[in-house]
Chain A
Amino acid sequence: MKRREYILHLIGEVAHYILESDPMRMVISLHQEEDGLHLAIIDSVVRSEEQLAKMRSELNTARRPELAGYYGSMAGSDMLGAARLDIIGWQVKHGDVTATSSGTKIDLWLGGDRFDPERFSIPGESGG
C-alpha cells in the first residue's frame, strides 16, 4: 500500500471515530519523517477516564499481523457501522490518548521496524 493511501485510510477511520461523538472541533495534525510519522487528532469532546482507558487499550492491542494485513484494509473505507480503533491499533506502532483542557487528544505513531517513537522529533514539542 502506498504511504499516502495508508495515511488516508488511518485518518479516515480515526476521523470517523471522532465524528461519531459529534464534536464542535476536530484538528488533525500530521508530521512525517523518513522512517515514520506522527498523527495527532484533537477534538472538543471531554471523555471519562474509563472511556480514555478503553481507547488506549484498543489502540495498543497485541500485534496481529493476520488481521492487520487483511482486515486492516477496511480502515477508513466503511462508514456504515461503528468506527473501530482496534483496526487502527493493529497497524500503528503506538497510540496515546490524553485528556486536554477542552477535549481529547489521540497520538498515533507509525513507522517501520526500526522506527522508535521516543526518538521522533516534532518541532515545538518535547519528547515527541
Chain B
Amino acid sequence: MDGSHERALYFYVTIVIGLIVAGGLFLDGAAAVGGFVELQLRPARLLNDFFSDTGVGAALINAALVGAVGLVLVAITQVRLSGPTIAAVFTMIGFGLFGKTPFNAIPIIAGVALAARIAGKTFSAYILIALFGTALGPLVSTLAVEIVPGTMGIFAGIIGGLLVGILLPPAAMAMLRLHQGFSLYNIGLTSGFLGLFAAAFLRALTTEMPAPPFSWATEVPIPVVLAVPVLALSLIVLAFVLGGGSATREFLRIQELPGRLPSDFLDMVGPAGGLMNMGVMAILLWTLVWILGAPFNGPVLGGILTVVGFSAFGNHPRNSWSVMAGVLLGTLLFRVAPSSPGPVLAILFVTTLAPLAGEFGAPIGLVAGFIHLAIVLQTGSWHAGINLYNNGFAGGLTATLIVAVIEWYQSNRETLFRKDTE
C-alpha cells in the first residue's frame, strides 16, 4: 500500500467521522451537544444503548469523537493507517454508541502510554493495545459515577483507568499466546480477564455493587438505519477508485486467507480488495440484521461497524458465515430469539472466531459459534459489564479451548519420524 492510498484512507475516515457528527447535529440539533456532555458522566457498563440514554444525536457525536481520538493518535504516532488501525478506529466509533466516551477512554490510553515508558518502548509499539484497550472504559465511568461520590469519583476513575492501562500490554501478550491468534478480539479476552479482577475489587470495596444498567433502543430514525448501506456503497466505490478492475480480483484473493491475527488484508493483498471486503461485509451484516428483525440501535450498529473494521484485518464472508451459522443454530437449540439483545450481538461479534473456520474449515466454525453462544450469555455477569468486548472475552475462551483440543489431537496423531508412515 503506497502513500497516496494511505492519504485517501485518511481522507475517507475523516469524512466518515465528520458525517457522523453532522448526522448527530442534523437529528437533534443543540440538544445533541448537551447530550454528549451528559454522556461523559453516565454509567457505561454493558448493556447501555446511548441511543436510548441521551438520544441518537448525542450518541453519534460521542461515537465520532471517540473515533477521532483514535484517528488522531494513529496520525500522531505515525503508524500506518491500514488493516489493524482501521479496525481499531471503526471499533472505537462502534463502541462509542454503547459504552466508550472520550472521558473514559483517554485515561486508559494514557495508562498504556505509561506502560510503554516503563517497558522502554515507544507508544507506537503499543498503539493497538491502547486503542482497543478502551474496552475497559466502563471501569473509569463506574468508579467516577457509580462507586466513589462527588468530584473524588472523577479522580478515582482516572486513576483506575491509568492502572488498568498499565496492566493491558503484559496481559494482552500473554492472552495472544493462549489462542495463537485464532480470536480476532484479543483485547476482548484481555479486558475480560482484567475485568474479573476489577469487578472483584469493586465488589469488595462496596457494600452493594450497583446492578449494571440496561437500555436497548427499539425505535431508530430511518437515516440511521440507512447509514450502513451508504457506508457499504462508499467503501465499494472507493475500492474501485483506488484499484479499478483489480479490486474484485483482490477481494477474491482475500477469501482464500484464513484471517488469523495479524492479517492486514490491505497490506497482504491490496487496499482495493480490503475496502471491497469491508463494503461487502457491511451489506451482508446489515441484511442479516434486517432479516432477523433486530433494531439498528447503538449496540447493533456498533457491532456492524466493528466487524466492518475487522474486515480489513481478518474477517471476510468465507471465514465468517459458519461461525455466525453456529450461533444461529444455538439460538434454535437454546430457544432464544435471535433478534434479542444477547443473541443478535453474538451473531455479529462471533466473527472474532472466523480464523478458526478459515484455518480448519466450516464444521469447526459451526462448533465454535455454537459454543460461543452458550458461554457469552454468561460471561457478562462475571466482569459486571466492565468489559465492553464481552463477546471478545467469550470468543477468546472458546478459541483457547478449541485450539487446545486441535493442538492435542494433531500432536498425538501426527507421526514423529518418516519411517513411522511406512
Contacts and interface: CB of A to CB of B under 8 A. Distances in A.
Given A80-B406, A80-B407, A66 B125 contact: yes
Interface string A30-73: 00000000000000000000000000000001101111111101
A122 interface: no
Given A66-B79, A66-B127, A81 B258 contact: yes
Contacts of B181: 71, 74, 78, 81
B406 A69 contact: no
Nearest to A58: B268
A81 B180 CA distance: 8
B406 A67 contact: no
A79 interface: yes
B180 A69 contact: no
B359 interface: yes
A61 B176 CA distance: 22
Contact of B173 (A67, A70, A82): A70
A74 B177 contact: yes
A71 B183 CA distance: 13
Contacts of A102: none
Contacts of B258: 81-82
A65 B403 contact: no
A67 B177 contact: no
Interface string B85-100: 1000000000000000
A65 B122 contact: yes
A74 B121 contact: no
Contacts of A80: 180, 182, 359, 403, 406-407, 410
A77 interface: yes
Contacts of B267: 61-62
B176 to A, nearest CB: 6
Given A62-B80, A66-B79, A71 B262 contact: yes
B407 A66 contact: no
B76 to A, nearest CB: 13
Contacts of A73: 173, 176-177
Nearest to A24: B418
A47 B407 CA distance: 29
Contacts of A74: 176-177, 180-181, 261
Interface of B: 77, 79-80, 84-85, 121-122, 124-129, 169, 172-173, 176-177, 180-182, 258, 260-262, 264, 267, 359, 403, 406-407, 410
Given A71-B181, A81-B260, 5 more contacts: A66-B77, A67-B84, A70-B172, A74-B176, A81-B359
10 nearest A-B pairs in the assembled complex, by CB-CB distance: A69-B125, A78-B180, A71-B262, A66-B79, A65-B124, A73-B173, A66-B127, A77-B177, A65-B125, A81-B260
Interface of A: 61-62, 64-71, 73-74, 77-82, 87
29 contacts: A62-B267, A65-B79, A65-B125, A66-B84, A66-B85, A66-B124, A66-B125, A67-B128, A67-B262, A67-B264, A68-B125, A69-B121, A69-B125, A70-B125, A70-B169, A71-B181, A73-B176, A74-B177, A74-B261, A77-B177, A78-B181, A79-B180, A80-B180, A80-B182, A80-B403, A80-B406, A81-B180, A82-B258, A87-B262
